[in-house]
Amino acid sequence: MNKAIIKCPHCAKSNRVPAAADGRPRCGNCHRELPWVVEAGDDDFGEIAERSGVPALVDFWAVWCGPCRMVSPVLDQLAHERPGQIKLVKVDVDHSPQLSTRFAIQAVPTLMVIVDGKIVARQAGAAPAPVLRSWLEGALAK
């Protein structure tokens, strides 16, 4: 099983969290909710994102993509602002061709919000932090 190492923003303790865990990850030291940032690919996307117990913010990105590198810290910040409320799932399109085809990814970055296995919002291209924050809040309100 894929595990993510998540550093607690409250006490700085590193925590090993299964990428497909049920519930909401908590720090083993201070017991506060952790921001959940994981990677997924062709083999484990369904388990990690589509069957997630919390809404999944999916980032389809590529190493060579400049706008992806600009958006990534904003998405990390959104996950840190909403510990226990969202799971940020990063999908490298070059290593996940089946997912890229399945979701018709034609531009990177492409963002999706998946709630209860359904896509409730989708956006292609980079955007400033306030726009992404507003987009995510609107998607989570649906």
Catalytic residue among 8, 11, 27, 65: 65
Known catalytic membership, residue 68: yes
| DSSP string of 31-54, one letter each residue | -PBPPEEEE--TTTHIIIIIT-SS
Residue of 11, 27, 30, 68 marked catalytic: 68
CA–CA distance, 79 with 134 (Å, rounded to integer): 14
Among 21, 108, 97, 14, smallest CA distance to 58 is for 108
Q: Which are the catalytic amino acids?
A: 65, 68
